[in-house]
Amino acid sequence: MNELVVASLQFPTVVFTIVLGIVLVYWLFVLIGALDIDLLGGGDVDVSGAAKGIGDVLTGGAKGGAEAFHAGGDVDVDVDGDVDGGGLWHGLGLGDVPVTISVSLITLIAWCGALLSMHYVAGTAAWWSVVILVLAVVIALPIAAVLIRPIAPVFAVKEGKSNADYVGHACTITTGRVDDSFGQATIEDGGTVLIIAVRCDEPGVLARGDKALIIDFDRDRQAYVVEPAADLLAGAARPEQP
């Protein structure tokens, strides 16, 4: 155990030891925040703020973080620890998860690599330690990228549908009447039934249970404009008169 402590405090391993210590403190605050532990006998402690501050340390601040691990492209790190940009970082898939996870994993791998290298293959020359420092980071990047791939889908951003996406879909009227100022309907979206506000400029043509077709979204009325589906189908099926 003492040998491990001594080895972890030697250069270049000590560089990763310091960063790894910050990482561990960060995740400790995250864990405390997730468990909602009331510290200091009921005192108000901003655990999320402290964790976010440590996250800024890990990423180099709210702007321009992760530059030490990013090659090429502009980087934009928000306070939640997400990285926007291109280059090697996103090319390896490290940007598919929050940067705090990527940096934590890279730091752990680089720390293990530097520790093992200094123990088994390190030379006596001082420049060899610098080589190990660089190689530890370079090798940690692709290894971390491989380990991140299985969990990347968990952090994928799913964009919700806009109002225009429902234009052309059929809906079922649920109110007794639909006119230019009143009406509701339901529409199925991937197994989920949504209740939407609908309007029809021809009052009296739609009633509860009728099928209607969404033809537009009226931003002023914040409702979908619908027409009876039967009428539209009949109009489409009716042959044109010569």
217 within 8 A of 167, measured Cβ to Cβ: yes
Q: Is the pLDDT of residue 144 over 70?
A: yes
Q: Which domains does the chain have, with CATH numbers?
A: 2-155 (no CATH), 163-237 (2.40.50.140)
- Give dist(CA 175, CA 197) in Å, integer: 10
Amino acid at residue number 185 = A
DSSP, collapsed to helix, strand or coil, labels residue 239 as coil
Residues 178-221 pLDDT 10s: 998 899 999 988 778 889 999 998 888 888 999 999 999 998 88
Q: Structure pTM?
A: 0.48
Residue 95 or 24, more confident: 24
Q: Is the pLDDT of residue 224 over 80?
A: yes
The CB-side HSE value for 86 (13 A sphere, CA atoms) comes to 2
- Give dist(CA 223, CA 37) in Å, integer: 45
Q: Quick one: pLDDT at residue 184?
A: 92
- Residue 202's CB is within 10 A of a number of other CB atoms, namely 12
| Reported confidence tier of residue 163, pLDDT bands at 50, 70, 90 | confident
**Beta strands, E only, the chain:** 76-77, 83-84, 170-173, 184-189, 192-199, 211-218, 223-228
Q: Is the pLDDT of residue 43 over 70?
A: no
